[in-house]
Amino acid sequence: MFKRRKPAPLVSVVVPAYDVAAYLPACLDSLLAQNLPELEVVVVDDGATDDSGAIADAYAARDPRIRVVHIENGGLGAARNEGIQHARGRFLGFCDADDLMPPRALEQLVLCARDSDAPLVTGNVVRLEGDQRTRMRWMDRLHAERRTIAIDDLPELLGDVFAWNKLFRRDFWDDAGLGWPERLRYEDQPATTDAYLRAGRIGILPEVVYHWRVRDDGSSLTQQRATVADLTDRWTTKRMALASVEAYGAPGVTDVFRDRVLPGDMWQYFVHIPFCSDEWWELLVAGVRELWGAERSLTGSTLPPAHRLTGWLVEQDRRADAARVSSYARTLGAPLPRVTLDDGSVRVDVPGLDPATVAPEAMRPRDDES
């Protein structure tokens, strides 16, 4: 007698798990509580050294919607790619093992995909710090309303690089040849950039579909920016994403990407300048000059004035002054003070920084900046 094959699930969610025993049960509980009966959860035990794999196996033993794959440690990108090979759903999603999904998240994403006839849909995200949920204004702006777009209509959406607030139609994923870079931090940006550029139609949801846990134990990759290895990977992924955008061939999209998206997280590196090593500083200067110094200085970006000024000083290899601005801005905890000049123009002011040695555009706030 032939054994009847189980029907393919509607949605498969890939959950990489590496040393997340403290968080994995809550993550899996949130997925199993989804208001979506046709669900498959593929947990990839990425060579965990704690009880993550055993926890996943215990969940799978009592709930057939969960499947577990055990592999040698290969990093987040490799674990996601492995999980995709085992996923059978028509739609493909991702969830990090220390995060949560609200109960209707997958249902809302599926409905958006069907209503928009889009191979890629993306929803809003809140930060989860302890029990506190915090809105992100830039994500609220990108997800202000339900709509269906092409990336040319809203190039700034390229800044929503998260893997896990999205749903991909599986046939689109395969036909577009998408995948996560391996052995590389910040693998989300190159992969999601390629997906946006190839999707044609993108569905946008204003509803929150993901709770992103911000951990304070130093284990999160995004808390390791002061290391040379981290900065090296960040430059690599920025180059990869920029190359894809330039190959797309839409000058308007490229301009927005360079000025509004690519610089978006640079302030999170600039805050480390006062304490950085010589090697890290040299790498920072080289990367900033490569991506912005030749054609589009960071003074033309949408970074806040303090970070635009710091970026210009980095471009000029003025380490002491860059450290001065970064330290002052951080101590101030508010926008840099302004000075009105005799001609009526306005510039920012930093004690100890001689404005005569700085390009005027590096110290000039824009009219829309309070």
- In CATH, what number does 11-221 get? 3.90.550.10
pLDDT for residue 224: 82
pLDDT for residue 3: 52
The mean pLDDT of 55-69, rounded to a whole number, is 98
pLDDT for residue 173: 98
Q: What is the DSSP string of 164-225?
A: TTEEEEHHHHHHTT----SS-TTTHHHHHHHHHHHHS-EEEEEEEEEEEE--SSS-SGGG-T
pLDDT for residue 223: 52
The mean pLDDT of 71-75, rounded to a whole number, is 97
Q: Which residues fall within 8 angstroms of residue 282, CB to CB, at 6 or more apart?
A: none
| Domain-wise residue ranges, the chain | 11-221, 222-336
What are the angstrom distances between the C-alpha of 5 and each of 11, 39, 327?
Answer: 17, 16, 62
Question: In this predicted model, what pLDDT tens digit does every residue of 160-195 receive, in sequence order?
Answer: 999 999 999 999 999 999 999 999 999 999 999 999
Question: In this predicted model, what pLDDT tens digit does every residue of 120-142 receive, in sequence order?
Answer: 999 999 999 988 999 999 999 99
Q: Round to whole Å and give the CA distance between 98 and 91.
A: 22
Q: Which residue has the tokens 């996943």?
A: 56
Average pLDDT, the chain: 94
Bridge partners (DSSP) of residue 121 are: 167, 203
Helix, strand, or coil (residue 279): helix
Q: How many CB atoms lie within 10 A of CB 345?
A: 11
pLDDT for residue 28: 98
pLDDT for residue 217: 61
pLDDT confidence of 369, banded at 50, 70, 90? confident
pLDDT confidence of 218, banded at 50, 70, 90? low
Instruction: Give 217 or 113, the one with higher predicted confidence.
Output: 113
Least confidently predicted of 6-15, 77-86, 93-102: 6-15
Query: Is 1 a residue whose pLDDT tops 50?
Result: no
Q: Round to whole Å and give the CA distance between 318 and 226.
A: 18
| Residue 286: alpha-carbon gap to chain centroid | 23
Q: Round to whole Å and give the CA distance between 216 and 222.
A: 11
Question: In this predicted model, what pLDDT tens digit does every residue of 39-51 receive, in sequence order?
Answer: 999 999 999 999 9
pLDDT for residue 234: 97
Q: Round to whole Å and give the CA distance between 91 and 168.
A: 6
Q: Which residues fall within 8 angstroms of residue 44, CB to CB, at 6 or more apart?
A: 14, 15, 16, 17, 68, 69, 71, 79, 80, 82, 83
Query: Is 205 a residue whose pLDDT tops 60?
Result: yes
